[in-house]
Amino acid sequence: MIETPVSESVWDHAARPEPVAGQTPEAYTVERYAVADSGDVPNGEGTERRAHTDAQGRRRNLTFPALPEPLPHPVVDNHTHLDMQDGLVRVSVVDAMATARDASVCGVVQAGCDVESSRFAVAAAQTVPGVLAAVALHPNEAPALAGSGVSGDRDAPAPAGDGSANGSGAGASVGGRSLDEALAVIDGLAGQRRVRCVGETGMDRVHTPESGLPVQEESFRAHIEIAKRHGVAMQIHDREAHEDVVRILRDAGAPERTVFHCFSGDPELARVCNENGWYMSFAGTVTFKNAAPLKAALREADPGLVLCETDAPFLTPHPFRGRPNAPYMVNYTVRGMAEILDTDLEELCRRIWENSERVYGQF
């Protein structure tokens, strides 16, 4: 069960404080939430909350980073998971969006990973202005559904080396459904109002063994057809599976608007995307100090195909790597991208906004 509130604000009966750049946003301060009184909450795999420890078992800094200064033009967080929490807060969708707007992030795409989170995405998009929905079964859901008829945990979509032991929100999502039944639900959701994308879907060679890859491919191909049938975009999860993803897209015929979520390729894959008109969405990973190939890919990418995302609560950008992430933090990633590209910040922000609207329509 997803516990994240959609429209319930912590300021339902009081005036919302004025945002202050340089301080942790009010909606993300632990003092406002009863969950902080427990000292700790269930976290990690099988819960709605990112793990409180990193890959080495060390306690993470669970304080949300400071609110940045506004950008010179609004941008979009192309992929986030507002149904998942981090630290000792339980921020609602409406409060997350209000904070995001304080940082010039005026639109988000809430991604689905299973039936429950996809339904949550639809509810959020139909309730909170600025939110659009993506619906799908995560690649690591497919083998579990096909093998047992019961959803398994999906590993968090962080690239190798992120240094976090991340939790998943899929543990109790679609018990009792077969893969075909779950895909039918996703197909139905894809036609709902303010659902503009099928995702995240794709291939994952890190968290699924070789024996499960054929089922992943079957699910991926089904999602491609769902996206094309409903005329919506598609967001791809590609975890060390570049060749698989490109082969399947070419064979099945990619949807008109195809996005590589959390782009993790090198300049060669960026050139392939350029040639095919596939969009590349860069997350906080592009700002990491050890991300030279990813920075080179950003420089290679066609500017008209560049998007930006948080993949929150994961992949927090430098210099806050390992700390909690939220849509307002895409502001920091965009600033880092402008430095990497040696380009004008306002020009990049405008381009990201225009590219995002080209993919998803108006927010």
- The answer for residues whose C-beta is within 8 angstroms of residue 238's C-beta and 6 or more apart is 202, 203, 245, 260, 261, 264, 265
What is the residue-averaged pLDDT of the chain?
A: 91
- What's the confidence (pLDDT) of residue 161? 37
Q: Is the pTM of this model over 0.75?
A: yes
**What is the band of 13 on the pLDDT scale with cuts at 50, 70, 90?**
confident
In this prediction, residues 2-24 reach a mean pLDDT of 92
| The two structure tokens encoding residue 156 | 């968090």
User: 348-358: per-residue pLDDT in tens?
Assistant: 999 999 999 99
pLDDT at 233 over 50: yes
**What is the Cβ-side half-sphere exposure of residue 115, based on CA atoms within 13 angstroms?**
21
CA–CA dist 145, 137 (Å, integer)? 10
What per-residue string of b and e applies to 163-188 under the rule 16 or more CB within 10 Å gives b? ebbbbbbbbbbbeebebeebbebbbe
Distance set, CA 188 to CA 119, 192, 230, 251, 258 (Å): 10, 7, 10, 25, 20
User: Distance between CA atoms of 96 and 314, rounded to whole angstroms?
Assistant: 15
Q: Which is higher by pLDDT, 67 or 147?
A: 67
N residues, the chain: 363
Whole-number pLDDT of residue 38: 61
Token pair listed for 246: 């490109």
What's the mean pLDDT in 232-254?
A: 97
> Using 50, 70 and 90 to split pLDDT, how confident is the model at 14?
confident
The pLDDT assigned to 55 comes to 87
Mean pLDDT confidence for 58-74: 97
Place 275 in a pLDDT band, splitting at 50, 70 and 90: very high
Using one digit for the tens of pLDDT, what is the confidence trace for 287-345?
A: 999 999 999 999 999 999 999 999 999 999 999 999 999 999 999 999 999 999 999 99
Instruction: Please determine, for residue 45, whether its predicted confidence score (pLDDT) is greater than 90.
Output: no
Q: Which pLDDT belongs to residue 34?
A: 78
pLDDT band at 359 (very low <50, low <70, confident <90, very high): very high
Is pLDDT at 12 greater than 70 in this prediction?
Answer: yes
pLDDT at 173: 38
Q: If you write DSSP's letter for every residue of 36-85 in order, what string do you get?
A: GGGS----STTSSB--SBBTTSPBP--SPPPPPPPPSS-EEEEEE-TTSB
Q: How confident is the model at residue 1 (pLDDT cuts 50, 70, 90)?
A: confident
Name the CA dihedral angle for 173, 176, 181, 187, rounded to a multiple of 10 degrees: -20
pLDDT at 37: 60
User: What pLDDT is attached to residue 26?
Assistant: 96
What is the Rg, in whole angstroms, of the alpha carbon atoms belonging to the chain? Answer: 19
Which range among 44-53, 152-161, 250-259, 265-274 shows the weakest confidence by mean pLDDT? 152-161
Q: Return the DSSP state at 226.
A: H
